Amino acid sequence: MDIVKGIEFHTFSITARCERTGRLGVGIATRAVAVASRCPFVKANVGAVATQASTDPRLGRTALNLLEMGYAAPKVLKELEASDPYIEHRQLAVVDRDGNSAARTGRENKDWAGHITGRNYVTMGNVLLGAHVAEAMARTFEDSNDQDLEERLMLAVEAGRDAGGQHGGQTSSGLLVYDREVFPWVDLRVDLHEEPIAELRRILEVYKPQAEYFSLRAADPTIPSAEPAY
């Protein structure tokens, strides 16, 4: 694995639920490439999970399975702890369908590493400039509850960046939100970019006017198409 020697996997994320609509989602950014391909896991009416640091995507799938069985977020986290011999290398966030949240930052994560849990959300990160990054994300999420979940997640990720983000900046980002269907309401990613959070915002602004159309046409393909915003 010489190809990955010396790479630092610095990540910050928000995992959350909308109290008003029940939507669930994850917003995330990292120093590594293609973060959205392996870290966020969401299922409608079930829960949202972020797995980061030395990521094991299998933990995300396991967490969703446990949530679907009716386990609350804290119990899911305990099951993941018990099942993973490398748990001290992980960062995990779980938010269930009822808004319960739980998170864990393993001892092997590099400073600053930590998390903040609140009703309906977890903000967390590793190798960040400081705790103020996660705090800024949490504060932004709490202060934007009149917005749709995808916008709140985007704002929180932007707040993390603006608070300094991680050492060396970001390379990739992602935004994943589920509403009521088995397919996502929003699933956007920037896999490799000099300013991935700014690029994610640009794509989101194009996508937002068309999100409802893309959702509704599954049941009724005769509805008029949305006008592209680009």
Q: Could you tell me which residues are beta bridge partners of residue 178?
A: 24
Task: Give the three-state DSSP class for 129.
Answer: coil
Q: Residue 191: name the closest of 38, 56, 70 by CA.
A: 38
Q: Could you tell me which residues are beta bridge partners of residue 30?
A: 11, 172
CB 16 within 8 A of CB 141: yes
Determine the pLDDT at residue 195: 95
Query: pLDDT tens across 5-60, in order?
Result: 444 558 999 999 999 999 999 999 998 999 999 999 999 999 999 999 999 999 99
Determine the pLDDT at residue 9: 55
Structure tokens at 165: 């983000």
Q: Residue 168: name the closest of 10, 14, 53 by CA.
A: 10
DSSP assignments along 53-66, one per residue? ES--HHHHHHHHHH
User: What b/e sequence results for 162-180 when a residue is b if at least 16 CB atoms lie within 10 Å of its CB, and e otherwise?
Assistant: ebebbeeebbbbbbbbbbe
Domains of the chain (ranges, CATH numbers): 2-198 (3.60.20.10)
Q: Any idea which residue has 């590493």 for tokens?
A: 113
Could you give the CA distance from residue 159 to residue 138 in angstroms, rounded to a whole number?
Answer: 9
Q: Residue 149: name the closest of 183, 185, 174 by CA.
A: 185
Structure tokens at 94: 């779980």
Q: At what angle do helices 149-162 and 196-216 cross, to 10 degrees?
A: 180
Determine the pLDDT at residue 5: 41
pLDDT < 70: residue spans in the chain: 1-9, 166, 226-230
CB 101 within 8 A of CB 26: no
Determine the pLDDT at residue 170: 84
Structure tokens at 9: 């996997």
